[in-house]
Amino acid sequence: MSVAPEINASTEEERRDYIKGRFPCIADCDMCGLCKVFHGKDAEEAYDDYIAGKRSFEDVSADYK
């Protein structure tokens, strides 16, 4: 997977597409575990600040480490 698009060099839609591609929902929570990592949220909700351009991908990711 490529590097997350920088906020100042990408559109909201490009950032949303990146998150969807990086953390795809496979509709099998027992197998995947992403919802647990994101405390019951889907990836788009968890990375909402990044998608909206408020915080960097790295800053939001740090919330879930």
Residue 12 lies in a domain: yes
How far apart, in whole angstroms, are the C-alpha atoms of residue 60 and residue 32? Answer: 20
Q: What range defines the domain where residue 52 resides?
A: 7-62
Identify whether 2 is part of a domain. Answer: no
Q: Within 1-65, where are the H helices?
A: 12-22, 29-32, 34-37, 43-46, 48-51, 57-62
Identify the pLDDT of residue 10: 98
Alpha-carbon gap, residue 14 to 29, rounded angstroms: 26
Return the structure tokens found at 59. 């800053």
Per-residue confidence (pLDDT) for residue 18, from 0 to 100 = 98
- 7-65 tens-digit pLDDT: 999 999 999 999 999 999 888 777 788 878 898 889 999 999 999 999 999 999 999 98
Please give the model's pTM, rounded to 2 decimal places.
0.87
- Asked if the structure places residue 1 within a domain, the reply is no
User: Token pair of 21, please?
Assistant: 């591609």
